[in-house]
Chains A and B, each alone.
Chain A
């Protein structure tokens, strides 16, 4: 039923195609790349696109096409893992908070509100300033920033699900809280979680690019879409093409995840059925 509906949603299918291409690009980067993305070639600085360098070269003479291809690895890696971290923390926090309720619920949710009240990027910058910029810290920072969204969604679902009679029935049989949460409550929260996760992947790609652009993301010389863009910015006046390709890659990836997210929302949201 779900797949039938989803496959009939043209918007969602476009999104799926875009995302699949992205993933393939990351997986087969060594095959697709024409040059080593790190090789510096002083003789070919800041060149326009050509048959040899499809997207041109940057100020160190590195091949931008190859850098964009490899960059997808870091972008996808960071967005995927930060969303995983956020989902895990959010589910744990939201489920405990919603299921047990009381003052602890109040406290936890106020902390979540506090996190949400900061602009996401600002908070991530703050965390990275404390932890120091490296790949796993970027994942952690973005994970923390996105946790409240998941926690709220899960808590909301848990609050309504825990009143359901099948939960009471399970209690009456003698089952404990952990079993009830994992067997009866969480499986029924998956729909809104999937929607939120896909939408968050798009945000995370964007956020990673911004952080890299600000020099807080993947440390150079490793290529990520954000730092390719950041490098290109200095030469925008001379060679505008340098900024176009990483920008396009970011746009497409974000678009892909957003389209899938919207389609999933349409398919999974019971209110629209």
Chain B
């Protein structure tokens, strides 16, 4: 793996205002609040966390599908958060997204040829025959058969639709792919097919992935590094090995211990957190995790911990990290 940084995100923040009307200034949802990380070329960085932690919003901010409230997204030296729309459009083909829901992510009225070929529309130098060739090649790459060329999405299974979504993204020859829970809508026996496909394409095409997921088994399998999010903030970021061997944040530890595994009868020191994830409308003061943290101390509720480097490559936002 080369160590060239392809993407550098700093202090990325997105506040949504909800319930605003003529007579009400609304409430602020701090969906993503000051997130910083970088992604190396050829790397898979996973963003994990529970629903509402802001991982999907982060993915969309990185691609500027929604504008950030604050912060910078530096892609190969350019801050795309501030790039004018026309320049941004030119960069779009470099970064693509694969979605969670293989049903709502494909326009039901378009055929395979139109869905995959849509991205080639902006390359007028291509002839009709060239386009067809490229679409067919991409279909082969993701494991769709040529006779699928003129079919509509409803004629496919979930796994095949996901392949279609992957093909649509990859025909743009992207360098960076945000995969937003690409497996969670699929059956177990089909997940493995898509995991292998993503891994193979990464190798063959030199892609970098920002892989968003809540499934820790898959994340462990596919990632190089992992970032753990909770209520809009990064809690911990480290290499897969570091994180699984020695999580330093109590939330990471609880999250990992809560994930069910298929090992029968192994005694687990399961940490069962009390309560639910608080609402991002009104996140707790101080450390956002302190209301559920089994190790919380007095200062956790008052002062927000900094996201700091504890060991080489191991970032943690905690006043009292584990094994310290």
Contacts and interface: CB of A to CB of B under 8 A. Distances in A.
Question: Do chains A and B interact in one complex?
Answer: yes
Interface of A: 164-166, 168-176, 183-184, 187-188
Counting contact residues on chain B (CB < 8 A from A), the size range is: 20 to 34
Nearest to B119: A173
Given A172-B97, A173-B119, A164 B104 contact: yes
A174 B101 CA distance: 21
Interface string B113-137: 0000011011000000000000000
Given A171-B65, A173-B119, A174-B119, 11 more contacts: A164-B104, A164-B105, A165-B99, A168-B97, A168-B99, A169-B105, A170-B118, A172-B65, A172-B96, A174-B92, A183-B107
Contacts of B159: none
A188 B90 CA distance: 28
B191 interface: no
A172 B63 contact: yes
30 contacts: A165-B99, A165-B104, A165-B105, A166-B106, A168-B97, A168-B99, A168-B105, A169-B99, A169-B105, A170-B118, A171-B92, A172-B65, A172-B92, A172-B96, A172-B97, A172-B169, A173-B92, A173-B93, A173-B96, A173-B118, A174-B89, A174-B92, A174-B93, A174-B119, A174-B122, A175-B118, A175-B122, A187-B107, A187-B109, A188-B107
A184 B65 CA distance: 16
B95 interface: yes
A184 B99 CA distance: 17
A168 to B, nearest CB: 5
B60 interface: yes
Contacts of B60: 168
Given A165-B104, A165-B105, A169-B168, A175 B121 contact: yes
Contacts of A171: 65, 92
A53 B122 CA distance: 66
A184 B106 CA distance: 10
B101 to A, nearest CB: 6
Contacts of B121: 175
Contacts of B118: 170, 173, 175, 183
A164 B105 CA distance: 6
Contact of A166 (B92, B95, B104): B104
